[in-house]
């Protein structure tokens, strides 16, 4: 296989075919990607990160309940007319800004794993480098700094190689992630990788550097995915395919040092909602006041709870 020469990174793939079982019953009829952080569906944060990173075409790989995602990024003539007539220009702007994005959809009919979902993008991507963006991981929700996807693209422009975003996670959590075995830094925060391993046992994890949901991949990944056997959880794992790709061309890891929000987790979802709410012009002041009051109340309750007597 010949590594692709550096080409402009124009395409993004967003897998959104998961069953969302961690958010049942909310996700019984709607895709988890449509659950809002205050007033914005989580998938919109991902799409915005892609656009801010210079991505021109986005493929969303959906499973069930894809209609609301498609409709969200389509125009809603009736609603727009109504808002226009009522002079609600700010709301109209919000509704209109999610249209006119080059979005494409494909359905993954069998949920066989993340690697299999990415393989569905083969025809869309063609022979170009591309990014994969996972919907459960939101980075930099308030839009400060260089988006992580753009950071990966900047790396690619220098190395012409696949680059996977990683981040230090608490050691006791490594079995929830793909984990890398770093083999020295080539420049600050950019690692050569000896091994990529999906969901290792905590005692066997090669490091605490976990794969977070942003990948820049060369198109050779598809050749590998086509013959990828199921791995952890009996699913076709993207990490396993990356591990094999790394044997034929260099794959780097880029350490992210910003804030990551795990909206695929109940606590992470609530935390993200609070943090985004604290920056939200309409509710920031009242939310701050509420949290201060609630904090006092909780502290008082904790102080009056009798302590356990240690024996």
Distance of closest approach, residue 144 Cβ to ligand G1P, in angstroms: 22
Task: Please state the φ and ψ torsions of residue 115, each to the nearest 5 degrees.
Answer: -60, -40
Distance of closest approach, residue 19 Cβ to ligand G1P, in angstroms: 11
Nearer to ligand G1P, 113 or 219 (CB): 113
Distance of closest approach, residue 30 Cβ to ligand G1P, in angstroms: 19
Enumerate binding residues for ligand G1P (CB under 6 A). Answer: 114, 134, 136-137, 177-178, 198, 210-213, 237-239
Tokens (6 digits) for 113: 């794993």
HEC sequence for the chain: CCCCCCCCCCEEEEEECCCCHHHCCCCCCCCHHHCEECCEEHHHHHHHHHHHCCCCEEEEEECCCCHHHHHHCCCCHHHHHHHHHCCCHHHHHHHHCCCCCCEEEEECCCCCCHHHHHHCCHHHHCCCCEEEECCCEEECCCCCCCCHHHHHHHHHHHHCCEEEEEEECCHHHHHHCEEEEEEEEEECCEEEEEEEEECCCHHHCCCCEEEEEEEEECCCHHHHHHCCCCCHHHCCCHHHHHHHHHHHCCEEEEECCCCEEECCCHHHHHHHHHHHHHHCCCCHHHHHHHHHHHHHHHHHHHHHCCCCCCC
Nearer to ligand G1P, 177 or 191 (CB): 177
Distance of closest approach, residue 83 Cβ to ligand G1P, in angstroms: 36
Distance of closest approach, residue 260 Cβ to ligand G1P, in angstroms: 9
Q: 10 near 124, Cβ under 8 Å?
A: no
Nearer to ligand G1P, 130 or 277 (CB): 130
Residue number of the CB closest to ligand G1P reads 178
Distance of closest approach, residue 191 Cβ to ligand G1P, in angstroms: 16
Distance of closest approach, residue 65 Cβ to ligand G1P, in angstroms: 18
């Amino acid at each position: 296989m010949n590594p692709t020469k550096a080409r402009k990174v124009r395409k993004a793939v967003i897998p959104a075919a998961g069953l969302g079982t961690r958010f049942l019953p909310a996700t019984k009829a709607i895709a988890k990607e449509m659950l809002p952080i205050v007033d914005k569906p989580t998938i919109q944060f991902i799409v915005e990160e892609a656009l801010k990173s210079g991505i021109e075409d986005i493929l969303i790989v959906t499973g069930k309940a894809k209609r609301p995602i498609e409709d969200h990024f389509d125009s809603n003539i009736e609603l727009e007319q109504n808002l226009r007539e009522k002079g609600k220009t700010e709301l109209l702007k919000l509704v209109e800004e999610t249209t006119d994005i080059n979005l494409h959809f494909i359905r993954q009919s069998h949920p066989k794993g993340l690697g299999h979902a990415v393989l569905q993008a083969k025809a869309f991507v063609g022979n170009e480098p591309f990014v994969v963006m996972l919907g459960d991981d939101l980075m930099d929700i308030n839009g400060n700094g260089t988006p992580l996807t753009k950071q990966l693209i900047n790396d690619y422009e220098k190395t012409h190689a696949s680059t996977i975003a990683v981040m230090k996670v608490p050691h006791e959590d490594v079995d929830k992630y793909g984990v890398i075995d770093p083999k020295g830094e080539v420049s600050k925060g950019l690692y050569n990788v000896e091994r990529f391993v999906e969901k290792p046992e905590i005692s066997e994890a090669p490091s605490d550097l976990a794969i977070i949901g942003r990948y820049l991949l060369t198109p050779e990944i598809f050749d590998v995915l086509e013959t990828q056997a199921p791995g952890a959880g009996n699913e076709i794992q993207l990490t396993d395919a990356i591990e094999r790709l790394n044997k034929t061309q260099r794959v780097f890891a880029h350490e992210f040092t910003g804030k990551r929000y795990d909206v695929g987790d109940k606590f992470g979802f609530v935390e993200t909602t609070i943090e985004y709410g604290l920056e939200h012009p309409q509710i920031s002041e009242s939310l701050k006041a509420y949290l201060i009051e609630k904090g006092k109340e909780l502290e008082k309750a904790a102080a009056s709870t009798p302590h356990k007597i240690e024996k």
